[in-house]
């Protein structure tokens, strides 16, 4: 759906987005230019700029995106890719989306520098809007803060092995839902939507982003190869996610402490990954997380009720449903 239906539906706006991305990350440094072109060609589903453009059109009085909508859509995609380039260094990732990372090909310094370049070009795209640039930049700034805090909280909890469900939800809001929120909110801002519409897409995006990340965490236990990464990456990084938290609810405190200790000992005992995965599958952890993702997807759809009906709103609703049951 994301790869075909939505870009086709967005039509000229999607083509304008693609052109804006190419123009934004072009460089007269051949190595940088070729690296950026490769990153664009392996751009994934581009769900965030799709959300930006759909939100803009669904909130616009005339149903049309503006030039600022295109600028901000390109900006959110550049921000997303900048964070991935930095994440690859932090995680030591050799592959992403089925292709070697910049880290693997050129080393950590290049990956950080290319990420910095994309981040600066993101800010340039936002500030190209004379009317809305300052306000939108503040929204993006909050997301960068959320991302940093989420990463640090996750790092802290990985070393302690004591992640609670509330802390898990904060982490996935900060790392995933916050950027979805930025995409939808600034999409609405790009067409001067009324506050009620901005609030509607904000709540939609928050619920959508949480459901999307929960599904990603489910796939790490029960699938995952189609995402371009092997099963069990989160456990190897000592991340306690919702499937494991759901399974822990089914055992007594002593057994729960044993499982959490095993997560902490994974660096020295990698065989624990398979044991913990078996525990999650046997104790209903997948079903628990799926129920939470489904509920959040329904809330996302309900949040759009204040918006007038349009095919763009229909596509937003379809994305919410897709987020909860996707297999990729």
CB 205 within 8 A of CB 184: yes
CA atoms within a 13 Å half-sphere pointing along the CA-CB vector of 97:
14
CB 213 within 8 A of CB 171: no
Domain of residue 223, CATH code: 1.10.600.10
- pLDDT score, position 4: 76
Q: Characterize 6-26 residue by residue with b for buried, 16 or more Cβ atoms within 10 angstroms of its Cβ, and e for exposed.
A: bbebbeebbebbbebbeebbe
Q: What's the structural domain count of the chain?
A: 1
Note the pLDDT tens digit of each residue in 34-52.
999 999 998 788 999 999 9
- pLDDT score, position 42: 87
- pLDDT score, position 328: 59
- pLDDT score, position 327: 63
CB 319 within 8 A of CB 47: yes
Residue 91 CA to residue 233 CA, distance in Å, equals 10
CB 47 within 8 A of CB 110: no
Q: Please return the burial class of 268, using the count of CB atoms within 10 Å of its CB with bins 0-12, 13-18 and 19+.
A: exposed
- pLDDT score, position 232: 80
Note the pLDDT tens digit of each residue in 54-101.
999 999 999 999 999 999 999 999 999 999 999 999 888 888 888 899
- pLDDT score, position 226: 46
Residue 222 CA to residue 146 CA, distance in Å, equals 28
- pLDDT score, position 96: 86
- pLDDT score, position 3: 55
Domain, as residue range, for 146: 5-325
Geometric angle at alpha carbon 296, from 176 and 198, rounded to 5°:
70
- What's the pTM value of the predicted model, to 2 decimals? 0.93
Strands 99-100 and 95-96: antiparallel
Angle 108-127/133-160 helices, nearest 10 degrees? Answer: 150
Count the residues in the chain: 328
Tens of pLDDT along the chain (328 residues) come to 555 789 999 999 999 999 999 999 999 999 999 999 999 998 788 999 999 999 999 999 999 999 999 999 999 999 999 999 999 998 888 888 888 999 999 999 999 999 999 999 999 999 999 999 999 999 999 999 999 999 999 999 987 889 999 999 999 999 999 999 999 999 999 999 999 999 999 999 999 999 999 999 999 998 744 444 567 888 988 999 999 999 999 999 999 999 999 999 999 999 999 999 999 999 999 999 999 999 999 999 999 999 999 999 999 999 999 887 776 5
């Amino acid at each position: 759906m994301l790869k075909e239906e939505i870009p086709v539906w967005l039509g000229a706006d999607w083509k304008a987005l693609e052109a804006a991305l190419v123009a934004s990350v072009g460089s007269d440094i051949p190595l940088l230019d070729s690296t950026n072109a490769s990153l664009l060609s392996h751009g994934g589903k581009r769900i965030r700029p799709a959300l930006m453009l759909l939100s803009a059109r669904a909130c616009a009085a005339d149903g049309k995106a503006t030039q600022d909508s295109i600028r901000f859509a390109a900006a959110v995609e550049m921000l997303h890719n900048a964070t991935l380039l930095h994440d690859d260094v932090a995680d030591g990732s050799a592959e992403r989306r089925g292709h070697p990372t910049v880290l693997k090909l050129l080393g950590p310094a290049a990956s950080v520098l290319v990420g910095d370049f994309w981040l600066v070009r993101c800010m340039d795209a936002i500030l190209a809007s004379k009317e809305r640039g300052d306000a939108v930049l503040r929204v993006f700034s909050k997301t960068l803060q959320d991302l940093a805090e989420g990463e640090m909280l996750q790092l802290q909890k990985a070393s302690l092995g004591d992640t609670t469900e509330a802390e898990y939800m904060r982490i996935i809001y900060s790392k995933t839902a916050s950027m979805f929120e930025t995409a939808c909110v600034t999409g609405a801002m790009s067409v001067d939507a009324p506050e009620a519409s901005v609030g509607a897409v904000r709540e939609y995006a928050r619920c959508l982003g949480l459901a999307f990340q929960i599904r990603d965490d489910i796939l790490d236990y029960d699938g995952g190869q189609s995402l371009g990464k092997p099963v069990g990456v989160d456990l190897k990084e000592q991340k306690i996610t919702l499937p494991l938290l759901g399974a822990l609810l089914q055992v007594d405190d002593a057994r729960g402490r044993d499982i959490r200790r095993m997560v902490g000992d994974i660096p020295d005992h990698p065989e624990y990954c398979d044991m913990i995965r078996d525990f999650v599958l046997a104790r209903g952890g997948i079903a628990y997380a799926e129920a939470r993702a489904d509920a959040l997807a329904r809330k996302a759809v309900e949040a759009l009720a204040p918006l007038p009906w349009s095919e763009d709103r229909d596509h937003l609703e379809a994305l919410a449903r897709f987020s909860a049951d996707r297999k990729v």
